[in-house]
Structure 1
């Protein structure tokens, strides 16, 4: 081989090395470009609603944002994708790892909530936790009061758990649903992807006010949906406040006349109490005077009872003594009778002797 051939071989090897280097640089730039697009899409639009229908390569994640006005995002390395969830873990209670769609997050959170509820001791603790998850979900004052009524019912745990499960099931329904109802029970005939994203965002946003959880919700929804959810809820809260103010005004218009009536009644009763208090004081004094007289009479009765007891004892003693005297008198009478009988016998003997001597 000549010198020219050897030079060409060296040049080809150098060119091949250059092409490899350029290819690697191009791959790195394209990867950085893809990651940059992913960051932008996540920051603005959030995760896609559903899982991608395209199978990803090993070690990669495929995303389908389903927005016609946005550029499709190529596959993202799983390791890089997972790193984006490190600052969006969501906290200890509802947080978790990486997910590739909002539907996947809804399923994960539903499972997580069931685990949290099962870990609590007693129905009361479970009812309090379910109430915290649900109380900010309603969009109207009446729906909010319905949640409060459920929490105060005898079967509060069953009702609240069923209500939360129903809201999750509605969110996972397909886009097109004839004669269906939304998460608040209102009938709808069709929901767009944007509407479904907002409904999912509404549920996730109001599950917990913890900053770590809100960071995760913002990351999952993207700024567009997150701001829409917050704005819509602010409008709903304003309507609730207006409704509550109307109710308070109506109740106040009913309360004030009744209040004035009760005030007048209270004043009348106060005068009545004062009059009765004076009468009560008089009765108390009279009772005290009567009590003094009663005590005096009781003392007299006690003295009479003592004298009566003494007289009874003396009478008893006299009767005993009289019985003894009667017995002695009876004995004397018997002795006198016997003496009389003896005298009569002696007189009879004397007469007999006198008669005998006369003969």
Structure 2
């Protein structure tokens, strides 16, 4: 690839930074802000659990809220009204506390300190940085286990963090994360708000309208001379077929297609751009981190941007992943999300 020009950089930046508020995401942004505001007004901090399948937009949502309420550099400290952090893979309370301390800029070595001691240090630093709300991502990493002992430890740590810091906490995780609230009634009382980020769907007319409206809004933001209608008949069925309603898959593919068009100095997007983007996606995306439908790996999905629409199908989410309370020893407690059988893509166009 040749050197990228300033104009190309500007256009691609606009594409990659574009944030469209779907009804689901907009409602959750309002919930986060509401919890942050009312927790300043006395009483116990207002906490929430936000759940969604991989690629639903949880992390993007957190980053958007943090970006809208940035850190403030002062003479002797950094004020952090919105504290964003992420639980490491397969973590436990002590490691979680260390990770959060590190993200807040703590420089003291944690060696020899217990989880309760580290949590006290964390709460103190949150006060010093004037944290008003903590958004903690990948919460399921704290409970991915076959042991209920780990669930107990996680419950105890989360309650301790809230009690000591007196700050509202919003946990983000996969749908089965809510098992931790089912496990402990006291903790469940601290998280009266549970919101689920739904994927896009198209099987029902009302859901299809939401998906197409999102694409229409995104189309209006794309930096091309030619009017782009991603919500039109040529694009939206194929985009859904590839993404299966996943926001991450959808945005990644659109970004790749725009990249092709911008680097070629083309005036708009075509199915050919998306076909090339599909091939790029298949070559470079780690399937283990892109798993959506366990019954159909990404590598087995055909290119929906080539050939007749009559040759393709779509699938949409039926049920979210769950925690299996009756799992046998050694059996995974996580029940994967399930999707519909293959539905001919042409059925979407028959409704038009």
Query: Which structure is higher in RCO with an 8 Å CA cutoff and minimum separation 6?
Result: 2
Q: Same fold (TM over 0.5)?
A: no
Comparing both structures, which one devotes a greater share of its residues to helix?
1
> Could you tell me the TM-score, scaled by structure 1's length?
0.20
Structure of greater Rg: 1
Q: Considering fraction of residues, name the structure with more strand.
A: 2
